[in-house]
Amino acid sequence: MTRRWCAAIVMLTVMAVTSCASDPPRPEPALGAQLARQMTIDGVYRHLLELQRIADANDGNRADGSPGHQASVDYVADRLRESGFEVQTPQFERLSGSRGGAPALTVAGREHRVDQVSLLITTPPGGLRALTFRPGEPAGCKQADYDSVSVEGAIAVVDDSECSIVDKQAAALAEGAVGMLVVSRANPTKPVGAPPSLFTPGYYGNLTVPVGIIDPTADAALRRTTAPVTLVLDNEPVMTTSRNVVAQTASGDTGNVVVVGAHLDSVRSGPGINDNGSGVAAVLETALQLGARPPGDNAVRFAFWGAEEISADGSTDYVRSLTGEQLDDIALYLNFDMVASPNAGYFTDDGDQSSVTGPQVREVPEGAAGIERTLAGHLNLAGVRPADIPLGRNTDYAPFLAAGVPIGGITTGSSQRKTAVQERIWGGQADVAFDPNYHTPRDTIDNVDREALLITASTIAFTVGSYARSIDGVNGVPPRDQRHRRAP
Q: How far are the Cα atoms of 274, 275, 277, 466 from residue 453, in angstroms, in the given order? A: 10, 12, 11, 20
463 and 344 belong to one structural domain: yes
DSSP, collapsed to helix, strand or coil, labels residue 54 as helix
Q: State pLDDT tens for residues 88-144.
A: 999 998 876 667 788 999 999 999 999 888 878 889 998 999 999 999 888 899 998
Let me know if residue 24 belongs to a domain: no
Choice among 137, 175, 308, 309 that is catalytic: 308
Give the ranges where 178-274 is alpha helix by DSSP (H): 216-223
275 and 419 belong to one structural domain: yes
CATH number of the domain within which 296 lies: 3.40.630.10
166 and 271 belong to one structural domain: no
CA atoms of 374 and 276, how far apart (whole Å): 23
Let me know if residue 18 belongs to a domain: no
Q: Tens-digit pLDDT profile for the chain (488 aa)?
A: 443 333 333 333 333 333 333 344 433 459 999 999 999 999 999 999 999 999 999 999 999 999 999 999 999 999 999 999 999 999 998 876 667 788 999 999 999 999 888 878 889 998 999 999 999 888 899 998 998 888 899 999 998 888 888 999 999 999 999 999 999 875 443 334 566 678 876 677 788 999 999 989 999 999 998 999 999 998 887 788 999 999 999 999 999 999 999 999 999 999 999 999 999 999 999 999 999 999 989 999 999 999 999 889 999 999 999 999 999 999 999 999 999 999 999 999 999 998 877 655 568 999 999 999 999 999 999 999 999 999 988 899 999 999 999 999 999 999 999 999 999 999 999 999 999 999 999 999 999 999 999 999 999 999 999 999 999 999 999 999 999 998 87
Q: How far are the Cα atoms of 152, 394, 465, 486 from residue 82, in angstroms, in the given order? A: 61, 33, 21, 34
The answer to whether residue 308 is catalytic is yes
Angle of helix 67-82 versus helix 41-56 axis, rounded to 10: 150
357 and 422 belong to one structural domain: yes
Number of domains observed in the structure of the chain? 2
- For residue 210, give the nearest of 95, 98, 120, 106 by alpha carbon: 120
Let me know if residue 13 belongs to a domain: no
Answer for the pair 384, 361: CB distance below 8 angstroms, yes or no. no
Q: Which of 176, 203, 237 is the last residue of a domain?
A: 237
137 and 286 belong to one structural domain: no
Q: How far are the Cα atoms of 1, 10, 416 from residue 4, in angstroms, in the given order? A: 8, 10, 80
Angle of helix 279-290 versus helix 41-56 axis, rounded to 10: 130
At 93, give phi and psi (nearest 5°): -110, 140
- For residue 178, give the nearest of 157, 207, 206, 209 by alpha carbon: 209
140 and 221 belong to one structural domain: yes
- For residue 448, give the nearest of 41, 35, 37 by alpha carbon: 41
Let me know if residue 5 belongs to a domain: no
Q: How far are the Cα atoms of 87, 284, 380, 405 from residue 482, in angstroms, in the given order? A: 30, 31, 31, 12
Q: State pLDDT tens for residues 47-81.
A: 999 999 999 999 999 999 999 999 999 999 999 99
Let me know if residue 365 belongs to a domain: yes
41 and 175 belong to one structural domain: no
CA atoms of 328 and 260, how far apart (whole Å): 16
Which residues of 384-424 form beta strands (DSSP E)? 387-389, 407-411
Q: Which of 192, 215, 237 is the last residue of a domain?
A: 237
172 and 52 belong to one structural domain: no
262 and 360 belong to one structural domain: yes
322 and 429 belong to one structural domain: yes
Instruction: For residue 174, give the amino acid letter.
Output: A
pTM, whole model, 2 decimals? 0.77
CATH number of the domain within which 184 lies: 3.50.30.30
CA atoms of 454 and 39, how far apart (whole Å): 8
CB neighbours (10 Å) of residue 113?
13
Q: How many residues does the chain have?
A: 488
- For residue 64, give the nearest of 363, 307, 358 by alpha carbon: 307
CA angle 23, 25, 28 (to 5 degrees): 150
Give the ranges where 193-323 is alpha helix by DSSP (H): 216-223, 279-290, 308-311, 313-320
Let me know if residue 17 belongs to a domain: no
Give the ranges where 249-299 is alpha helix by DSSP (H): 279-290
387 and 289 belong to one structural domain: yes
Annotate 431-465 with three-state secondary structure.
CCECCCCCCCCCCCHHHCCHHHHHHHHHHHHHHHH
Structural domain range at position 315: 31-94+241-482
Let me know if residue 463 belongs to a domain: yes
Instruction: For residue 425, give the amino acid letter.
Output: I
273 and 394 belong to one structural domain: yes
CA atoms of 336 and 409, how far apart (whole Å): 6
Q: Which of 237, 255, 285 is the last residue of a domain?
A: 237
CA atoms of 418 and 174, how far apart (whole Å): 52
